[in-house]
Amino acid sequence: MAQRVINIGNNPNDGTGDPLRLAYEKINQNFLELYTRELNTDSQTLELVGNTLTISNGNSIELNISPTGDLQGSVFADDSTLLVDGVNGTIPGYVSLETLKTEVAASTDFADFQARIAAL
């Protein structure tokens, strides 16, 4: 059944639109059609492959995911080991960047620098 559109006329109260009774009949018919529709209660499955999100009933949506600019945050390995600490701006390891900077700044010559680094 097609949607029943109520004729509202050309101007307010010009008498060219549907009479009230006919307008309400169209409203009732439209609602009756909506309420008698069978609901789709089938479960749906979503699958994301590349940039395409597919719904189990055959519909699909193409996703345009194009991040721009610098990505910010920390990087973790598969075992939750922190590889890059984006909060503190460090790369965790045996020597912190601040310690390295301090040792480099305190070095008096290349041999002293090598000795300080080796001691870390």
Q: Which pLDDT band holds residue 111 (cuts at 50, 70, 90)?
A: confident
Looking at the DSSP bridge assignments, the partners of residue 42 are: none
Query: How does pLDDT run across 2-60, given as a tens digit for each residue?
Result: 889 899 998 888 889 999 999 999 999 999 988 887 776 667 778 887 777 787 776 76
**pLDDT beyond 60 at 94:** no
Mean pLDDT of the chain, nearest integer: 77
Whole-prediction pTM: 0.33
